[in-house]
C-alpha cells in the first residue's frame, strides 16, 4: 500500500497529521493503544480453591459430621459431652487457617511481576494539526503521524514515510540479532521482512524516521502474538499433577477405610452415632492436615533460594517442573549468545587471525605487530560512525553503551581494546567527507586528513560487502607493502571469505587509498553527492568478521544438561548457517557429529542420497518445517539427538514444543523476545530473560533469569530436582505417622479396647510436632548423584508411588505403631489393666454409669478415673510417635545414601528435632492442657518406651538403603534382582567327551550358583539346571532375558530375547533347545552369555504387555514354585520325521529338527513324557513373531522351542 493510499484510508495528512477531532473519534472507536491483559482468576475463586480443594473438603465433611453428632447428642441427652463440638470447631479452624496460609503464599508469589507490567512506552511524539506534541502512548490512534529517533521505542505499528539512517532492533520480534534498516520502500511481501514497517515495542537504535500509525493495541503484530499466547491452554504443571495424584490416593484411602469401618461398626452392633464418630476419627487420622501447607512452604523456600541465584520464579509449581525437564528448547539471541556483535576473526597478510570474543577478554590474542593490522585497525576506527556514550570512562570497554549500529559498535570496541583510544585516532585524522552505508552501494566511505603534519595527502578509507570492496581494489597489502591483486590472491580472498561466512559470521571488507596531493590538494572540496574523487584502484587491506558470540558459561551448562539426560534444542529466527555455528560453539551440536549436509559434503554426494538417520545432528529451516507432517516431525525429534531449528516463526516454535510434548518430554522453553512468548506459554515451563527480555515474554514465562544467563538454568534444574527429592522425603516423613494414627481406631473398633489415641491428639501431631521437621527437609542438601541421573519419568516416578507408600505405611509406619501400642499397654499394665483384660472391655470402659470397673488386680475404677488413664495413654501414644519420628526424619534425609554419608549439616532439621520434642513436652506438662486438649503429664520412664523402636527404624532403613545402593535399578529388593548380567563361562572341554561344564557368575563376583552342561552336537542344550537350583525363580523378576551364542572367533551364531512374563515356560524348562542353521562345526568352542535387563522393556513390546506383566508376575511366580517341585523329563521329537532321524543318527542323544523354514513351519512339534504331551502349532510362532517383529525373526523363532512337562 502506497503512502497516498495509507493517508486516504486513515484520513490523515503526511504533513499536518490528524485533526484532534479525528484522533478523538478513532480513540473512541478503537480504544486505547494498549495490550489487553490476559484473563486472570478472580481472587475469591483462588481463595475458595484453597478453602475447599484437596484435603480440605474431607476435613469439612468431618467437621460437619462432628456438628451433626453433637446436635444429635444435644437433642437426645440432658448433658451432652462437648467433645464432638470442640472437634468440629478445631477441624473448621484448621481448614480456614491452612487455607488462608496457602492463599496468602500464592498471592505473594503472584505479585512479583508487578514491576514488569509497563507494556507500552510512556510517551510518544505525534503531529496533529501541524503541531508536534508529546502524548501518552496509550492515546496514539491509527492515522497519527509519529516521529521516532534513536533510543525510542516504537509506540505502534508504523508505515515509514521518511527515514534518515533509521535502524530498528527487531530481535525481540523476529530473532534477528542485526539491526534492520527502515526506509519508505517496500522490499518484501512479508510484513515481517519488509523495510517500510516499524513494529510496536521494538527499539529504534539510530537515526530518525517519520511514519503513519497503521495498527494499535491488540491489532499490532506484537498484540496478535500476545493474543495467541493468552489463548493457549497451558495445562497443569507436573508437580500440580503429582499433588493431585497424591490427594486422590490419600482421599481414596481415607474414604474407603472410613466407609468400610462405618459399615463394619454398624454390623458389629455399634450405634449410628458411634459409627459416625469412628468415621470422623478414620478421616482425621488419614488426612495429613498440614502437608499441603508444608508443600507450599517448601516450594516458597526453594523459590527464594533460586531468586538469590538469579532465577525469579513466578509460579511456585514451576520450581519442580524445571527439575523434571527432559528437553530445553532455547532461543539463540540473548539467551545462548551475549546479544552483542563482536569481532571474531580477521584476515590480513593472507592469514586468518582469531579475535578474543570472551566476555572477560580472557581468550587468546592475535599478533598485533603487523603493519597491515595497524592499517586495518585505522580503517575500522575512521570509517565508523559509532561512538561511546558520555560519562562511561570508568566502565570496562565491553560494558560501555555505544550510540551506533551493532556492527560498528563491535568494530569500535575491538579497536579500543586492541589499539587504545579510537577518539584519539579520530582527532588526529579529521574527517572531511563521508558517504554513509546504503543498500545500493553496500559500502561506507570517508576521507580524512593524515596525522602526519608533513604529509598533506588525504586518506580515503572504505568498508563494506567484501565482494564490492574487492571489485574496487587493484592491489593488496601484505606485510605492510602493496602487492598486485593477482588471481592467486583473489582465490585466497575467496577461500577466506567462504570460510568466515561458513562460520555464520558477518564479513566486512576494508581498503584504503592515499589520494595524490597533486589532484586533491589541501582544502579540496569533496562532493559526496556528485562524486568528484577517486573510488577505484584502491588497496585491499583485509577482512573482519563479526558474530554474536556465545556466553562464556553456556558450553559448560549445555554439557551439564547432557550429563543430566536433558536434550537441548536451539530454536531461532536467525540464518541456518549462523545458528549451526553457534550450536557447534556452545556444544548443542557435539564435536564430530554431522548433519545430513556435512555427510553429503564429505562423501561428495547429493543430500537426497543421504539417509537422514545416519546423522545425529540436524539443522531444520523454517520453510522446511512448514512442509513437515506431524509424523515426520516426530521422526526428527525421535531419531536426532542434536537439533537446530532456524528461521522459525512464532507459530512454528509452538509446533516444535507440541512435538516434543508428544514424545512424552517435559519441555522448558527459554527466550527473550515477543516471538518466544507463545512457546513460553505452551511449554511445561517458560523461562524468560530479565534484562533483555520483552514484557510479553516475561508475562508468558513461569520463571525469569535475572542475569540473562543460560547457565542459571542448570542451577534451576538442580534446585528443581532437589525440591522434588525433598518433597518426596517430606511426604514420606508426614505419611509415616498416619499408620500409628489409624491403627488405634482400628483396634478400638475391632478389638474393643479403650481408645489409644484421640482425634485432638492426632491434630497436635499433624499440625504441631510434624510441621517444622517436615519443612526442615526442604533445606536438605542434594545427594551426590542428583545431576547424574536421567530426568524423572512422570508416568513412573511419582511424587507418591507404591514404593513410598510401602515404606511409609507398610514398613516404618508399622514399627511406629508398635512403639505407640507398647507405650499404651505399658501404662495400662502399670495402672492394673493387663492386655488380656483390655480386649473387649470398651463398652464397660465408656459406660458413664459404671463406676466400679475392676482391673486385673481387683481394684475398682470410676468413669472419671478411667478416662484420666485413657487420656494419659493418649499423651503417651502421642509422645511415642514423636520419639519414633525422630528416627523417621533422620532416615528421610536421604533416599539412597547412608545418613552417615550425608551427615547432619541441616541446622533447620536439628532445630526441628528439638522443636517437636519441646512442643511435645509443653503439651504434656503445661497446666491446663488436661482441660484444653485432654493431655496429662507422663512419668519420665514412659518417654523411653518407644526408644528401641526408634533405633530399630534407623537400623532397618540403613540396611534397606544399602541394598538399594547395590541395586541401582532400585525397584526390586529380591537378592537375585541385584544382578545385572549373568554369564555362562566355558570352564573345560574334552574332545572325546560330549559335554563341557560352566559355572554361573553374578556380576563377575565369582558366586557359583549351579552346574550347567552344554552338549556339543547338532543341537546345543542352552542350559540345564538341577531342580533344587535357587536361581530359576528369580529369572522371573527380570524384564527380559537376552541369550547370545558365540563361537571361538566371537562370531554370534544366534541371539534371542525372551520376555519372561509372557514366555515364562523358559523359567520352568531346564532343557531349552536352540537349533543352529547352518550347523556349527563340532570342533567349535561355544560360549553363551545371558543378560538380565532390569531397566526397561524392549521397544517392540506393546505397552499393554508391560502393564500385563506387572499384574501377572505374582500369579505366574506361584505357578512357578509349584511346578519346580517336580523335575521335568522331556524328549523332543517330530511326528513326521521321527523314523527318518533315528535311521540317520541312531546314537544321538538329541535330535536335529527340520532343516528348512518350510519344514519347520509346516508341522507340529510334540513334547513327550511318560504322563502327557504338548503340541505347539505354527500359530504359536506367528503370534510371538507379531509381538517381537524387531527382535525375534521368524527363522529364529522356529528354531527355538521352550518346553516343560
The 667-671 sheet, strands edge to edge: 311-313, 703-705, 685-689, 667-671, 327-330, 567-571, 642-646, 617-621
**Cα–Cα distance, 59 to 282 (Å, whole number):** 11
Place of cell 490523515: 12
Eight-class DSSP state of 1122: H
**Cα–Cα distance, 536 to 654 (Å, whole number):** 51
Q: How many Cα atoms are found within 13 Å in the side-chain-facing hemisphere of 648?
A: 28
* Angle formed by the axes of helices 863-891 and 711-736, nearest 10°: 150
Which residues have C-beta within 8 Å of that of residue 885, sequence separation ≥ 6? 733, 736, 737, 769, 770, 773, 816, 916
Concatenating the DSSP letter of every residue in 34-97 gives SPPPPP---HHHHHHHHHHSTTHHHHHHHHHHHHHHHHHHHHH-SS--SHHHHHHHHHHHHHHH
**DSSP element (H, E) containing 964:** helix 947-966
369 burial type by CB count under 10 A (0-12 exposed, 13-18 middle, 19+ buried): exposed
Name the phi and psi angles at 285, rounded to 5: -70, -30
The answer to whether 817 touches 809, Cβ cutoff 8 Å, is no
The active-site residue out of 331, 349, 708, 725 is 331
The answer to whether 385 touches 165, Cβ cutoff 8 Å, is no
Eight-class DSSP state of 536: S
Q: Could you tell me how far CA 853 lies from the centroid of its own chain?
A: 64
The answer to whether 920 touches 880, Cβ cutoff 8 Å, is no
Give the number of other CB atoms < 10 A from CB of residue 622: 18
**Cα–Cα distance, 315 to 865 (Å, whole number):** 54
C-alpha cell at 669: 522453553
241 burial type by CB count under 10 A (0-12 exposed, 13-18 middle, 19+ buried): middle
C-alpha cell at 1201: 522351542
**Nearest to 239, CA basis, from 175, 180, 318:** 318
What is the total residue count of the chain?
A: 1205
DSSP SS3 for 1043: strand
**Cα–Cα distance, 121 to 301 (Å, whole number):** 35
Give the number of other CB atoms < 10 A from CB of residue 1170: 6
Rounded-to-10 torsion of CA 271, 276, 279, 281: -100
Does 30 qualify as catalytic in the annotation?
no
**Strand residue runs (E) in 948-1083:** 981-988, 995-1002, 1011-1015, 1019-1021, 1040-1046, 1052-1058, 1073-1075
DSSP SS3 for 868: helix
SS3 content of the chain, % helix, strand, coil (to 5): 45, 20, 35
DSSP SS3 for 975: helix
C-alpha cell at 3: 503512502
In three-state form (DSSP H/G/I as H, E/B as E, the rest C), the secondary structure along 685-725 is EEEEECCCCCHHHHHHCCEEECCCCCHHHHHHHHHHHHHHH
**Nearest to 279, CA basis, from 58, 71, 54:** 58
The residues annotated as belonging to the active site are 331
Amino acid at each position: 500500500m502506497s503512502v497516498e493510499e495509507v493517508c486516504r484510508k486513515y484520513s490523515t495528512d503526511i504533513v499536518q497529521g490528524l485533526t484532534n477531532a479525528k484522533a478523538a473519534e478513532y480513540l473512541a472507536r478503537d480504544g486505547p493503544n494498549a495490550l489487553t491483559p490476559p484473563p486472570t482468576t478472580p481472587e475469591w475463586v483462588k481463595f475458595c480453591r484453597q478453602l475447599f480443594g484437596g484435603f480440605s473438603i474431607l476435613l469439612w465433611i468431618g467437621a460437619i459430621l462432628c456438628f451433626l453428632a453433637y446436635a444429635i447428642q444435644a437433642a437426645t441427652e440432658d448433658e451432652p459431652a462437648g467433645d464432638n463440638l470442640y472437634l468440629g470447631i478445631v477441624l473448621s479452624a484448621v481448614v480456614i487457617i491452612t487455607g488462608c496460609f496457602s492463599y496468602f503464599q500464592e498471592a505473594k508469589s503472584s505479585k512479583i511481576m508487578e514491576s514488569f507490567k509497563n507494556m507500552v512506552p510512556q510517551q510518544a511524539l505525534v503531529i496533529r494539526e501541524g503541531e508536534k506534541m508529546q502524548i501518552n502512548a496509550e492515546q496514539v490512534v491509527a492515522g497519527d503521524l509519529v516521529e521516532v529517533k534513536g533510543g525510542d521505542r516504537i509506540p505502534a505499528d508504523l508505515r515509514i514515510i521518511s527515514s534518515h539512517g533509521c535502524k530498528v532492533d527487531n530481535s525481540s520480534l523476529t530473532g534477528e540479532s542485526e539491526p534492520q534498516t527502515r526506509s519508505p520502500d517496500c522490499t518484501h511481501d512479508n510484513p515481517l521482512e519488509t523495510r517500510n514497517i516499524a513494529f510496536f515495542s521494538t527499539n529504534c537504535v539510530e537515526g530518525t524516521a517519520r511514519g503513519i500509525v497503521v495498527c494499535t493495541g491488540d491489532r499490532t503484530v506484537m498484540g496478535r502474538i500476545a493474543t495467541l499466547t493468552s489463548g493457549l491452554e497451558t495445562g497443569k504443571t507436573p508437580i500440580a499433577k503429582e499433588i493431585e495424584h497424591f490427594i486422590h490416593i490419600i482421599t481414596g484411602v481415607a474414604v474407603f477405610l472410613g466407609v468400610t469401618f462405618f459399615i463394619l461398626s454398624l454390623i458389629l452392633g455399634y450405634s449410628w452415632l458411634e459409627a459416625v464418630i469412628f468415621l470422623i476419627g478414620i478421616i482425621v487420622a488419614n488426612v495429613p492436615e498440614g502437608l499441603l501447607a508444608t508443600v507450599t512452604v517448601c516450594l516458597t523456600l526453594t523459590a527464594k533460594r533460586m531468586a538469590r541465584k538469579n532465577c525469579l520464579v513466578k509460579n511456585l509449581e514451576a520450581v519442580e517442573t524445571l527439575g523434571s525437564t527432559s528437553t530445553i528448547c532455547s532461543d539463540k539471541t540473548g539467551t545462548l549468545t551475549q546479544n552483542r556483535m563482536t569481532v571474531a576473526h580477521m584476515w590480513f597478510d593472507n592469514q586468518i587471525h582469531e579475535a578474543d570474543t570472551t566476555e572477560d577478554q580472557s581468550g587468546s590474542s592475535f599478533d598485533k605487530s603487523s603493519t597491515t593490522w595497524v592499517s586495518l585497525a585505522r580503517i575500522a576506527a575512521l570509517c565508523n560512525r559509532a561512538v561511546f556514550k558520555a560519562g562511561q570512562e570508568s566502565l570496562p570497554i565491553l560494558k560501555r553503551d555505544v550510540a551506533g549500529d551493532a556492527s560498528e559498535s563491535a568494530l569500535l570496541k575491538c579497536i579500543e581494546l586492541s589499539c587504545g583510544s579510537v577518539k584519539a585516532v579520530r582527532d588526529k585524522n579529521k574527517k572531511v567527507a563521508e558517504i554513509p552505508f546504503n543498500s545500493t552501494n553496500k559500502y561506507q566511505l570517508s576521507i580524512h586528513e593524515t596525522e602526519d603534519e608533513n604529509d598533506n595527502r588525504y586518506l580515503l578509507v572504505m568498508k563494506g560487502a567484501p565482494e564490492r570492496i574487492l571489485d574496487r581494489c587493484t592491489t593488496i597489502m601484505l606485510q605492510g607493502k602493496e602487492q598486485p591483486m593477482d588471481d592467486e590472491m583473489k582465490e585466497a580472498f575467496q577461500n577466506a571469505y567462504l570460510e568466515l561466512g561458513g562460520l555464520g559470521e558477518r564479513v566486512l571488507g576494508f581498503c584504503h587509498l592515499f589520494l595524490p596531493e597533486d589532484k586533491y590538494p589541501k582544502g579540496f572540496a569533496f562532493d559526496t553527492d556528485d562524486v568528484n574523487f577517486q573510488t577505484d584502484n584502491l588497496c585491499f587491506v583485509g577482512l573482519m568478521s563479526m558474530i554474536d558470540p556465545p556466553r562464556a558459561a553456556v558450553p559448560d551448562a549445555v554439557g551439564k544438561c547432557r550429563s543430566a539426560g536433558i536434550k537441548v534444542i536451539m530454536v531461532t529466527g536467525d540464518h541456518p548457517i549462523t545458528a549451526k555455528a553457534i550450536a557447534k560453539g556452545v556444544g548443542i551440536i557435539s564435536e564430530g557429529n554431522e548433519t545430513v549436509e556435512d555427510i553429503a559434503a564429505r562423501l561428495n554426494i547429493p543430500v537426497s542420497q543421504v539417509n537422514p538417520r545416519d546423522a545425529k545432528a540436524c539443522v531444520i529451516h523454517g520453510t522446511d518445517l512448514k512442509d513437515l507432517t506431524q509424523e515426520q516431525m516426530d521422526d526428527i525429534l525421535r531419531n536426532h539427538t542434536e537439533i537446530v531449528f532456524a528461521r522459525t516463526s512464532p507459530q512454528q516454535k509452538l509446533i516444535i514444543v507440541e512435538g516434543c510434548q508428544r514424545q512424552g518430554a517435559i519441555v522448558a522453553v527459554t527466550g527473550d523476545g515477543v516471538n518466544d512468548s507463545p512457546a513460553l506459554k505452551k511449554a511445561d515451563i517458560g523461562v524468560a530473560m530479565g534484562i533483555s527480555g520483552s514484557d510479553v515474554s516475561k508475562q508468558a514465562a513461569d520463571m525469569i533469569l535475572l542475569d540473562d544467563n543460560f547457565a542459571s538454568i542448570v542451577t534451576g534444574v538442580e534446585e528443581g530436582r532437589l525440591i522434588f527429592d525433598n518433597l518426596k522425603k517430606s511426604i514420606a516423613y508426614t505419611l509415616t505417622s498416619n499408620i500409628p494414627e489409624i491403627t488405634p481406631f482400628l483396634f478400638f473398633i475391632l478389638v474393643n479396647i479403650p481408645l489409644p489415641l484421640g482425634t485432638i491428639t492426632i491434630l497436635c501431631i499433624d499440625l504441631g510436632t510434624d510441621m517444622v521437621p517436615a519443612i526442615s527437609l526442604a533445606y536438605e542438601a542434594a545427594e551426590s548423584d542428583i545431576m547424574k541421573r536421567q530426568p524423572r519419568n512422570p508416568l513412573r516416578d511419582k511424587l507418591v508411588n507404591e514404593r513410598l507408600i510401602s515404606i511409609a505405611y507398610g514398613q516404618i509406619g508399622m514399627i511406629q505403631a508398635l512403639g505407640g501400642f507398647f507405650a499404651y499397654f505399658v501404662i495400662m499394665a502399670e495402672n492394673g489393666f493387663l492386655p488380656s483384660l483390655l480386649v473387649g472391655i470398651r463398652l464397660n470402659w465408656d459406660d458413664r454409669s459404671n463406676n466400679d470397673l475392676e482391673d486385673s488386680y481387683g481394684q475398682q475404677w470410676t468413669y472419671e478415673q478411667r478416662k484420666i488413664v485413657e487420656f494419659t495413654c493418649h499423651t503417651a501414644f502421642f509422645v511415642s510417635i514423636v520419639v519414633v519420628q525422630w528416627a523417621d526424619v533422620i532416615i528421610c534425609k536421604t533416599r539412597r545414601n547412608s545418613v552417615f554419608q550425608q551427615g547432619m549439616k541441616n541446622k533447620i532439621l536439628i532445630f526441628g528435632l528439638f522443636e517437636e520434642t519441646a512442643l511435645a513436652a509443653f503439651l504434656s506438662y503445661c497446666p491446663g492442657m488436661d482441660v484444653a486438649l485432654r493431655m496429662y503429664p507422663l512419668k519420665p520412664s514412659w518417654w523411653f518406651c518407644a526408644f528401641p523402636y526408634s533405633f530399630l527404624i534407623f537400623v532397618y532403613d540403613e540396611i534397606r538403603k544399602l541394598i538399594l545402593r547395590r541395586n541401582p535399578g532400585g525397584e526390586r529388593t529380591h537378592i537375585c534382582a541385584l544382578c545385572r548380567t549373568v554369564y555362562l563361562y566355558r570352564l573345560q572341554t574334552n574332545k572325546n567327551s560330549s559335554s563341557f561344564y560352566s559355572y554361573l557368575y553374578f556380576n563377575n563376583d565369582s558366586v557359583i550358583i549351579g552346574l550347567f552342561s552344554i552338549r556339543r552336537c547338532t543341537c546345543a542344550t542352552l542350559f540345564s539346571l538341577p531342580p533344587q537350583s535357587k536361581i530359576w525363580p528369580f529369572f522371573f523378576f527380570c524384564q527380559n532375558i537376552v541369550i547370545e551364542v558365540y563361537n571361538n572367533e566371537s562370531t554370534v551364531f544366534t541371539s534371542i530375547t525372551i520376555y519372561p512374563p509372557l514366555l515364562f515356560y523358559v523359567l520352568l524348562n531346564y532343557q531349552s533347545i536352540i537349533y543352529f542353521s547352518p550347523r556349527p562345526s563340532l570342533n567349535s568352542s561355544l560360549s553363551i552369555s545371558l543378560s538380565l535387563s532390569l531397566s526397561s522393556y524392549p521397544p517392540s513390546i506393546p505397552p499393554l504387555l508391560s502393564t500385563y506383566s506387572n499384574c501377572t508376575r505374582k500369579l505366574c511366580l506361584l505357578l512357578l514354585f509349584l511346578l519346580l517341585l517336580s523335575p521335568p523329563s522331556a524328549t523332543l521329537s517330530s511326528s513326521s520325521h521321527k523314523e527318518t532321524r533315528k535311521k540317520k543318527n541312531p546314537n544321538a542323544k538329541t535330535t536335529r529338527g527340520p532343516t528348512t523354514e518350510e519344514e519347520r513351519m509346516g508341522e507340529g512339534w510334540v513334547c513327550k513324557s511318560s504322563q502327557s504331551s504338548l503340541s505347539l502349532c505354527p500359530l504359536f510362532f506367528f503370534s510371538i513373531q507379531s509381538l517381537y517383529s524387531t527382535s525375534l525373526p521368524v527363522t529364529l523363532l522356529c528354531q527355538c522351542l521352550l518346553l516343560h512337562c
